[in-house]
Amino acid sequence: MAESTKSATLSIDGKEYDLPIFSPTAGPDVIDIRKLYAQAGVFTYDPGFTSTASCDSTITFIDGDKGELLHRGYPIDQLAGMSHYLEVCYLLLYGELPSAAQLEKFELNITHHTMLHEQMVNFFRGFRRDAHPMAIMVGVVGAMSAFYHDSTDITDERQREIASHRLIAKMPTIAAWAYKYSIGQPFVYPRNDLDYASNFLRMCFSVPAEEYEVNPILSRAMDRIFTLHADHEQNASTSTVRLASSSGANPFACIAAGIACLWGPAHGGANQACLEMLNEIGTPDRIPEFIARAKDKNDPFRLMGFGHRVYKNFDPRATVMKQSADEVLDLLGVENNPILQVAKELEAAALNDPYFADKKLFPNVDFYSGIILEAMGFPTSMFTPIFALSRTVGWISQWKEMIADPQNKIGRPRQLYLGETSRDYVDIENR
């Protein structure tokens, strides 16, 4: 718990209240208002909680003005460029980079938990074939609590550990099977001789009729997508997981709640919206028209995948993702894919236009991840499930941190009530 070294004074109707101020290791100071209602009889009003710290955390730090994203103090571009997803998972879960022996043990543990209980196949078959993969993921992840009773007691540290490993291990299988089910192909079981990203690609794209070899460039690009989406501080879905867990709900229910929140187009659907925009543009010759529209204040059109709500300068994840996008497009080519042609030329046009530089509207991680996933052959309906797969470790890390916090209490936001005051019931014949 942070120590208060200074205070702020709040004056209400001539009466003053001293409020402690906490200074973080990075970021702005935080005013402690926990006793404000008890002392002054007032609440604070902050729709969207954009100025409210709901917890203290040691996991992820973002400085949007500087374009900085740190996991346990390590810059995201270093992790994505020099590490890999399961090592980053270990870092987020345990706070430090693992030794070689620790990483080997962790990877082995995750690899040997990738299979699903065979009876869970029935859950997939209960959905219509045209069900969105996110609908399937919400249902199946929530249903895991009905199969894994030895890891639902949140008061047991060992059970929390088992649940954490199971979720990280099984999420690629769940996402891949949701995809296979939606296209009418048989489920492909995981293989223990493949790395995390390669296993996922094989489960998505292989078929029993022929051998499937995972290209290492595609596997590396997939691993980077996982890494760059692993955690992003107290965003909407992470806050949802924390709020759900504050009631004592089991870990599978909490992660299912996070998936449901991520499904929203304002959160997890950004790279899908980017691809839909590229489809709307259609051909490279129409790019000048759409750039002009983006500059027109009276036109509702906006370039998706450019700029970011949090990062006011540049998205630190985008540089690494651009490298992967270039590698994937060089490997697969863009000649026969007009959407990828549009993406490449739109990127070049925007980066060379002073208007976008002045507005700091640089391509973000969603722009490049959408291009990569499109080039690999994923339909846009799978973009958000892949995001959920990636973010699972972040949700779990935040969940574990909250459960272990002695200050943990059930979330109970307040409101500014503007409805009717107390009134008497009137019989229906007198209304």
pLDDT tens sequence across 320-359: 888 888 899 889 887 777 887 888 888 888 888 888 878 8
Out of 1.20.140.10, 1.10.645.10, 1.10.580.10, 3.40.50.300, the CATH code matching 73-262+385-400 is 1.10.580.10
Alpha-carbon gap, residue 82 to 45, rounded angstroms: 43
What is the pLDDT confidence band of residue 1, given thresholds at 50, 70 and 90? low
Share above pLDDT 90 across residues of the chain, in percent, rounded to a whole number: 72
Average pLDDT score, the chain: 92
**Domain positions in the chain:** 6-53, 73-262+385-400, 269-376
- Interval 216-245: pLDDT, tens: 999 999 999 999 999 999 999 999 999 999
Of 307, 301, 270, give the one whose Cα is nearest residue 383. 270
Instruction: Note if 232 is an active site residue.
Output: no
What is the pLDDT confidence band of residue 144, given thresholds at 50, 70 and 90? very high
Question: Is this model's pTM higher than 0.85 or not?
Answer: yes
**Residue 306: DSSP 8-state:** B
For range 310-314, the mean pLDDT: 73
Alpha-carbon gap, residue 379 to 392, rounded angstroms: 21
Strand order, beta sheet including 60-63: 60-63, 68-71, 74-75
Residue 59 has pLDDT above 80, yes or no: yes
The reported pLDDT for the residue numbered 79 is 96
The contacts of residue 332 (CB under 8 Å, 6+ apart) are 375, 376
Alpha helices in 206-337 (DSSP H): 216-228, 236-245, 251-262, 270-281, 287-295, 316-332
Determine which one of 195, 308, 405, 424 is catalytic: 308
Report angle CA 142, 144, 149 to the nearest 5 degrees. 125
The reported pLDDT for the residue numbered 263 is 92
- Interval 375-415: pLDDT, tens: 899 999 999 999 999 999 999 999 999 999 988 899 999 99
The reported pLDDT for the residue numbered 16 is 93
Is the domain defined by 269-376 classed in CATH 1.10.230.10? yes
Alpha-carbon gap, residue 388 to 137, rounded angstroms: 9
The contacts of residue 123 (CB under 8 Å, 6+ apart) are 139, 140, 143
Alpha-carbon gap, residue 251 to 400, rounded angstroms: 9
What is the pLDDT confidence band of residue 2, given thresholds at 50, 70 and 90? low
Indicate the CATH number for domain 6-53: 2.20.28.60
Instruction: Note if 113 is an active site residue.
Output: no
Alpha-carbon gap, residue 195 to 103, rounded angstroms: 13
The reported pLDDT for the residue numbered 302 is 82
Determine which one of 366, 405, 424, 427 is catalytic: 366
For range 33-55, the mean pLDDT: 92
- Interval 80-130: pLDDT, tens: 999 999 999 999 999 999 999 999 999 999 999 999 999 999 999 999 999
Q: How far is CA 299 from CA 55, 66, 281, in A?
A: 40, 30, 15
Alpha-carbon gap, residue 100 to 317, rounded angstroms: 26
Phi, psi values for residue 333, rounded to 5° = 80, 160
Share above pLDDT 70 across residues of the chain, in percent, rounded to a whole number: 99
144 alpha carbon, distance to own chain's centre: 20
